[in-house]
Structure 1
Amino acid sequence: MEKRVSGIVEKEDEGIRLGHFLRKNMHLTKNEISRAKFRQGGICVNGERRKVNGLLKAGDFVEALLETEDEVSKGVEAFEGGITVLYEDQDVVVVDKPSGLKVHPTGGTDDDTLANRLAAYLRGKGEDSVIRIFGRLDKDTSGAVLAVKNRGAAVRLERQREQGQLFKSYLAIVEGTPEPGEGKIDKPLRPVPGQRNRMYVDTEGKRAVTYYTLLDEVPRPEKDSLVGLRLETGRTHQIRVHMASIGCPLLGDPLYGKGAVQGMERTALHAWRIHFLQPFTGEEVQVEAPLPEDMRLFLSISSDCFSKNAAP
């Protein structure tokens, strides 16, 4: 597959070399530029092929032809389970994962996962299968999941994640009320010895940072709270362990809390908002996944109970 990307030279970039413009302004990697140089019409200025050491003038129209071979998940079979698409363009797709659905197959006959459903959706449109999913969610966790359709987009989004431009905000119902109502949890995490799927706070663990904000208190005999969260790092079970470490485990959490309660049969965590830049245009994209029905019913309030700018 091929993808043509373009940019216009602004006045402040008058005299810049073409290669520098491709890297700085169009965010092409050195490998992408190297491959494009040897393609017919791979790098053009105003419709004519140009060498990368050439100088540019204000108003020049720069184009590059990229190879975007899909990094297809070869073993993923299509499964017609249906998905809810929140956002889609030619490079990425954001879907709303329901609670109870795994993100990836884990072997055996496990063929109804988000990856399988995405494969069916994309193949139904005549596109290749799922490429890469950025930021896995636990089976219980609902909300926004970002999938990338081609290698070029994956490279750029990985860079955004490293630079903090790609991030998610979460909503959780927790036991009790965090004090103070807003804060930063900076506690290293590591797996419990002999239990790879369970984490704990330990000074010898990897750095983990979570920001939280109290959004609302739930009027129940056992006071619960709606909390907004954002991660600086992405460790396994980070939100669940960090909130439990300050005395506010997630409601319904079987590992770090009391487990299922009436009205909340799963861990009450929802990936609410995802923010990133369109990989090739740089346009800011922010997508929200509606609060799921079980969390809304438990809270007995509408999803408008919190400001859209309240969560971290």
Structure 2
Amino acid sequence: MDTRFQLNFIVQQDGQLLREAISDWGISKRALTAIKFDGGELLVNGEERNVRHQLTKGDQVSIIFPSEEASEGLVAEKGPLKILYEDEALLVIDKPPYMNTIPSREHPAGSVANFVYGYFLEQQIASTVHIVTRLDRDTSGLMCIAKHRHIHHLMSEQQKAGAVHREYEALVHGIVRQAKQSIIAPIGRKETSIIEREVRGDGQFAHTDVTLLKLLSEPQPMSQIRLKLYTGRTHQIRVHMAHIGHPLVGDELYGGSRELLDRQALHCVWLQFVHPLTGENISFSSEIPEQLTPPRN
């Protein structure tokens, strides 16, 4: 059985060259090169054609992408995957805390990528793992994963255009005084660390909106907040909240305390994007886990 990823199109106009149609359909030059030289096929009405072939309205074009090899060092594993949505292009999962998105030197096994790759092999999906929306190890909630390099490309273009929307809920130290606020502050790597980020003048533009949900006085002053990301910088929420004096509960790296929780209190509760193949707006939600549910005062 041919398990290669395939897209099918109906030509809408006469006289267009196949390469022009391929570009209109959002397929990158890099992907086209791989199709031509790495085992893909371009079929028009079931017959293989080259990119200079002239199309006729009503032609059926099949673009068959070459099989993908897994990233070096990625090992397939069977493990827990809470899949909320799946089709031929995408997976949306609900990630638990304490799980890496991709393998690291400290945690080479047990990552989302390990488990997804194992699932792909089990389902005979000829692809490696393409993470669209990444979460830190201790952050839980919604993640989007592309099943193919081309789909990842289309989703990355959406992200650049600001069409992938994510919202989070968090518990932070202290009393947040404003009901709504925008934090617009550039983020860059801290010079003394390979991991830590900070707000700095020469950093990348970063924008986070914060909405206050609830104030808590016990067991210590805290605030439950909802956050909307307009950019996706590394540790953006954690850095921005620490910058305004309200680090996340459990986030020791950025000044939080682990007295109440042994991980940063952050959960991706909402994800919305345009489906890269159908053009449909789709959204997903996830309830915050019980350990992040604020106690009743």
> TM-score category by the smaller chain?
0.7 to 0.9
User: Structure 1 residues 31, 207: closer, same or farther in 2, change over 3 A?
Assistant: closer
1:229 aligned to 2:227?
yes
1:23-102 maps to which residues of 2 (within 5 A)? 23-24=23-24, 26-30=25-29, 42-44=42-44, 53-54=54-55, 56=57, 60=58, 62-102=60-100
Answer yes or no: is the 8 Å Cα contact 2:11–2:55 preserved in 1. no
Query: What code does the residue aligned with 1:277 have?
Result: V
1:207 aligned to 2:205?
yes
Query: What code does the residue aligned with 1:225 have?
Result: S
Q: For each residue in 1:193-231, what CA deviation from the matched residue of structure 2 results, as whole angstroms up to 9, or x when unmatched?
A: 221211222212222221222223335363322212122
User: Structure 1 residues 248, 69: closer, same or farther in 2, change over 3 A?
Assistant: same
User: Structure 1 residues 40, 256: closer, same or farther in 2, change over 3 A?
Assistant: closer
Offset of 1:254 from its aligned partner? 0.6
User: Structure 1 residues 37, 121: closer, same or farther in 2, change over 3 A?
Assistant: closer
Offset of 1:239 from its aligned partner? 0.6
Q: For each residue in 1:220-245, what CA deviation from the matched residue of structure 2 results, as whole angstroms up to 9, or x when unmatched?
A: 36332221212222222111111121
Q: Secondary structure at the match of 1:165?
A: coil
Gaps of 5+ in 1: 302-312
Answer yes or no: is the 8 Å Cα contact 2:169–2:224 preserved in 1. yes
User: Structure 1 residues 111, 285: closer, same or farther in 2, change over 3 A?
Assistant: same
- What RMSD in Å do the two structures reach over aligned CA positions? 3.1
User: Structure 1 residues 32, 197: closer, same or farther in 2, change over 3 A?
Assistant: closer
Query: What code does the residue aligned with 2:186 have?
Result: P
TM-score with structure 1 length normalisation? 0.79
User: Structure 1 residues 115, 34: closer, same or farther in 2, change over 3 A?
Assistant: closer
Q: For each residue in 1:42-98, what CA deviation from the matched residue of structure 2 results, as whole angstroms up to 9, or x when unmatched?
A: 3547x7889665564xxx465332315325224221222211111111121121111
Q: Between Structure 1 and Structure 2, how many residues are aligned?
A: 290
Equivalent of 1:156 in 154, 157, 166: 154
Q: For each residue in 1:254-293, what CA deviation from the matched residue of structure 2 results, as whole angstroms up to 9, or x when unmatched?
A: 122331133x321101112222222222222212233112
Gaps of 5+ in 2: none
Offset of 1:21 from its aligned partner? 5.3
Between the aligned partners of 1:224 and 1:77, the Cα distance in structure 2 is 41
1:3 aligned to 2:6?
yes
User: Structure 1 residues 8, 294: closer, same or farther in 2, change over 3 A?
Assistant: farther
1:1-312 maps to which residues of 2 (within 5 A)? 1-7=4-10, 9=12, 17=16, 22-24=22-24, 26-30=25-29, 42-44=42-44, 53-54=54-55, 56=57, 60=58, 62-107=60-105, 110-128=108-126, 130-220=128-218, 222-262=220-260, 264-296=261-293, 298-300=294-296
Q: Secondary structure at the match of 1:255?
A: helix
